[in-house]
Structure 1
Amino acid sequence: MTLSAGPEAPSRSLAHPTRAQIRLEQVLHALSDPVRLSVVSALAATERELPCSAFPLPVTKSTCTHHFRVLREAGVVRQVYRGTAKLNALRRQDLDVLFPGLLDVVLDAAAQQRRQDSAKPL
């Protein structure tokens, strides 16, 4: 798979798949992990780009890097460097064009599952 670097500065650019290169099975794999799904849920709740440090993930820094890389390489998020920060944005428009309704269904199901889990007695 050939990846495009996007409009970022060449020295600090990250490879992203073009819209045409985004594959359903890779998107579903990226969304199947609870940590990655929590990142996508947080990004979907905001219109802003968020730095990796904005996500309080229950994993090590190297594992966080892995999760963000899986999301980026699947075409779920776009990552850009701004100064020393790596910012993340959901590629909602690309995903909605390719797989209409998929992201909303997955995010709604995840929210419903969180509600059910929080309602369970300890």
Structure 2
Amino acid sequence: MTAATSTRELAHPERTEIRLEDVLHALADPLRLRVVRELAEADRELACSHFDLPVTKSTTTHHFRVLRENGVIRQDYRGTAKMNGLRRADLDALFPGLLDSVLEAAGAQAKRLGGG
């Protein structure tokens, strides 16, 4: 894992360190999957403040950390904002088709259950 060199820099796993079971664990939580769906739909980085999750700030921070530490997202500070980006290129290179399949299934489930 790339170590943080300052308090404003966050540690991320190198591509070669990302494991399938860790990615699946990160995506298994409905709130984390919701974040990933929003990032995929936006196709750009989004600030943490963009996400309106029905949990406390500390729980939100936990969910973002799980996504980051398991190689699903990249987080970088831009001024005072923490920006989040989907590590699509890394995930697609390591696990071809996985992210698209999960996102498609999650979208279909949301429609089926009335969650859009």
TM-score, normalised via structure 1 length: 0.90
Please list every run of at least 4 consecutive aligned residues from structure 1 whose deviation after the TM superposition is greater than 4 angstroms: none
Q: Secondary structure at the match of 1:65?
A: helix
The structure with the larger Rg is 1
- Residue of structure 1 equivalent to 2:26: 30
- Residue of structure 2 equivalent to 1:62: 58
Q: Tell me the C-alpha RMSD between the 2 structures.
A: 1.5
- Residue of structure 2 equivalent to 1:46: 42
CA distance in 1: counterparts of 2:24 and 2:41, whole angstroms: 19
Matched, 1:91 2:91: no
After superposition, the C-alpha distances for 1:32-87 in whole angstroms (9 at most, x for unaligned) are 00000000000001222101110110111000000000000000000000001100
CA distance in 1: counterparts of 2:35 and 2:46, whole angstroms: 10
Matched, 1:12 2:8: yes
What one-letter code is carried by the residue in structure 1 that aligns with 2:2?
S
What one-letter code is carried by the residue in structure 1 that aligns with 2:23?
V
Equivalent position to 2:101, from 101, 105, 111 = 105
TM-score, normalised via structure 2 length: 0.94
Unaligned runs of 5+ in 1: none
Unaligned runs of 5+ in 2: none
Larger mean CA deviation between 92-101 and 50-59 belongs to 50-59
Q: Secondary structure at the match of 1:12?
A: coil
